[in-house]
């Protein structure tokens, strides 16, 4: 089963949207296999956003993601990367579809509430940046036969 890394960024925590955002992923049927509430170090932020190094928004991105606590989680499910990206909506909130997290709850690209891995390969790298293998909890959900 596929896994992906999701972050609720500092704006999500400050706006007290953690419960609403987690609920959207749970309601879809994605399984939480790890979760932690942390303030990211600059080192972790630079590793997490290494792919964006050199871009005009990179410094702002690192300073924003380290500006306050975040929620990091690993979600598991069929095509978890794609399903999560769909629930998040497009990077730019003005392009994110209504019904998506960004489309419904955010207005500014620099504060778009959530991160989700963009490929299975990147998901595995990103998960390892945040969680040890022992922190990924193996269990079955009671409703597993009803989600597919």
Window 40-69: residues binding ligand DAT (CB under 6 A) = 57, 61
Write the burial class of residue 19 (CB in 10 Å: 0-12 exposed, 13-18 middle, 19+ buried): exposed
Scanning the structure block, which residue is given the tokens 């955010």?
106
Torsion angle of C-alpha atoms 135, 112, 84, 16, degrees rounded to 10:
60
Taking CB under 6 A as the criterion, the residue among 47, 68, 103, 118 binding ligand DAT is 118
Options 93-101, 104-112, 120-128, 135-143: segment touching ligand DAT (CB under 6 A): 104-112
Question: With CB cut-offs between 5 and 8 Å by kind, which of Mg ion, ligand DAT, none does residue 3 bind?
Answer: none
Q: What's the CA gap between 139 and 142, in Å, rounded?
A: 10
Q: Say whether residue 120 binds ligand DAT (CB under 6 A).
A: no
Options 31-39, 111-119, 122-130, 138-146: segment touching ligand DAT (CB under 6 A): 111-119
Residues forming the site for Mg ion (CB under 5 A) = 118
């Amino acid at each position: 089963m596929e896994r992906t890394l999701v972050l609720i960024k500092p704006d999500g925590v400050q706006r007290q949207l953690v419960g609403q955002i987690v609920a959207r992923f749970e309601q879809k049927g994605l399984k939480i296999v790890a979760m932690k509430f942390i303030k990211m170090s600059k080192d972790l932020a630079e590793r997490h956003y290494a792919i964006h190094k050199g871009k005009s928004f990179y410094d702002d991105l690192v300073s924003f993601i380290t500006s306050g606590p975040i929620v990091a989680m690993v979600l598991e499910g069929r095509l978890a990367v794609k399903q999560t990206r769909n629930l998040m909506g497009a990077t730019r909130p003005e392009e994110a579809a209504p019904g998506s997290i960004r489309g419904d709850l955010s207005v500014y690209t620099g504060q778009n509430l959530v991160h989700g891995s963009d490929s299975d390969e990147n998901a595995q790298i990103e998960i390892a940046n945040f969680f040890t293998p022992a922190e990924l909890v193996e269990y079955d959900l009671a409703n597993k036969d009803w989600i597919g």
